[in-house]
């Protein structure tokens, strides 16, 4: 069970019930753990709190007039508690012997660091040499802190430069990435165009192949059906015979024209016979002229197509005679 400082205990020890009049109090060996009521002693200058179970300074520092504080043989263990001693400007003597905090390697320096107003610590007078030494150590510590701060500032500047450099690099990479993406898109478009061109030529090639295959089949079909018997006018005729018939029909205009030319030549000869000289003989020069004119006229009227038809007819006749 926690033992608490009470008003009755203070009245018993101080022999008064007026808290403002109490300037010293002896609470040695009461196993006190909680002493918050001590803050009511506004004018307290001497506090004998040894051999209790106190583990903090947060209550006694409210007694701002304290000059002598004895906390020997208590349970104070946190060295950070010494920062509270700044709130006791009139404190001249402090005893913390046999508290766990005294085991800290820099215990004495830490106490004097925050309570430079002290003249005695743990019943030992603080000498000028100790103060100078403490001051030097404090200066070194401050120099170290200053160097650390400068190093931190340098580190921040370096980090800022690195960040800016990385930002520029990232912008460059982003721009390069954009350019790469544009180039990639352009290549895709080019590949698409090339594929379309290849597809076009492929389709053209396929179409040409289909035309060639169609022509080959058409040619083959014509060759196969060249001599197939065909029924014409109730009679069977071969393709060859039909072609001859067509050729003969095509030659009819030529034969008519030829007959007309022969008739013209005969009339010319007849006329030449009537032109006799007075001796009853024909004029040979005039006759020859008429014949030559008739031949030239016949040749002029014969077209190349007629000559070809005549040539084919002769060849056809020769083939039939040979068969």
Average pLDDT of the chain is 77
Residue ranges of domains in the chain, CATH in brackets? 7-126 (3.80.10.10), 231-322 (no CATH)
Taking a C-beta distance cutoff of 8 angstroms, is the pair 54, 80 a contact? no
Identify which of 56-65, 203-212, 305-314 has the greatest average pLDDT.
Answer: 56-65
For 14-42, how does the pLDDT look when each residue is reduced to its tens digit (9 = 90+)?
Answer: 999 999 999 999 999 999 999 999 999 99
pTM value is 0.47
For 177-206, how does the pLDDT look when each residue is reduced to its tens digit (9 = 90+)?
Answer: 777 778 788 787 777 777 777 777 777 777
Instruction: For residue 282, name the pLDDT band (cuts at 50, 70, 90).
Output: very low
pLDDT value of position 182: 80
Q: How far apart are CA 144 and CA 131, in angstroms?
A: 20
Extract the tokens encoding 167.
């930002």
């Amino acid at each position: 069970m926690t033992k608490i400082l009470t008003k009755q205990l203070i009245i018993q020890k101080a022999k008064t019930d007026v808290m403002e009049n109490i300037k010293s109090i002896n609470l040695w060996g009461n196993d006190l753990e909680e002493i918050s009521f001590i803050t009511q002693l506004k004018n307290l200058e001497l506090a004998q709190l040894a051999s209790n179970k106190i583990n903090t300074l947060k209550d006694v520092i409210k007694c701002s007039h304290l000059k002598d504080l004895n906390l020997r043989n208590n349970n104070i263990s946190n060295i950070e508690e010494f920062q509270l001693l700044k709130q006791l400007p009139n404190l001249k003597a402090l005893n913390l012997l046999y508290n766990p905090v005294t085991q800290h390697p820099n215990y004495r320096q830490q106490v004097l660091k925050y309570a430079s107003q002290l003249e005695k610590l743990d019943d030992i007078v603080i000498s000028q040499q100790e103060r100078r030494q403490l001051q030097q150590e404090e200066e070194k510590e401050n120099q170290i802190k200053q160097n650390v701060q400068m190093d931190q500032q340098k580190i921040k500047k370096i980090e800022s430069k690195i960040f800016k450099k990385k930002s520029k690099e990232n912008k460059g990479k982003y721009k390069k990435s954009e350019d790469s993406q544009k180039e990639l898109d352009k290549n895709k478009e080019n590949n698409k165009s090339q594929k379309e061109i290849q597809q076009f030529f492929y389709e053209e090639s396929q179409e040409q192949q289909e035309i060639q295959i169609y022509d080959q089949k058409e040619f083959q079909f014509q060759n196969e059906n060249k001599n197939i018997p065909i029924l014409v006018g109730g009679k069977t005729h071969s393709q060859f015979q039909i072609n001859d018939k067509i050729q003969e029909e095509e030659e009819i205009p030529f034969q008519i024209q030829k007959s007309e030319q022969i008739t013209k030549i005969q009339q010319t000869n007849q006329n030449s016979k009537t032109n006799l000289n007075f001796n009853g003989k024909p004029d040979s020069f005039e006759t020859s002229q008429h014949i030559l004119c008739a031949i030239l006229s016949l040749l002029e009227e014969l077209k190349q197509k007629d000559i070809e038809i005549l040539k084919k007819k002769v060849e056809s006749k020769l083939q039939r005679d040979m068969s």
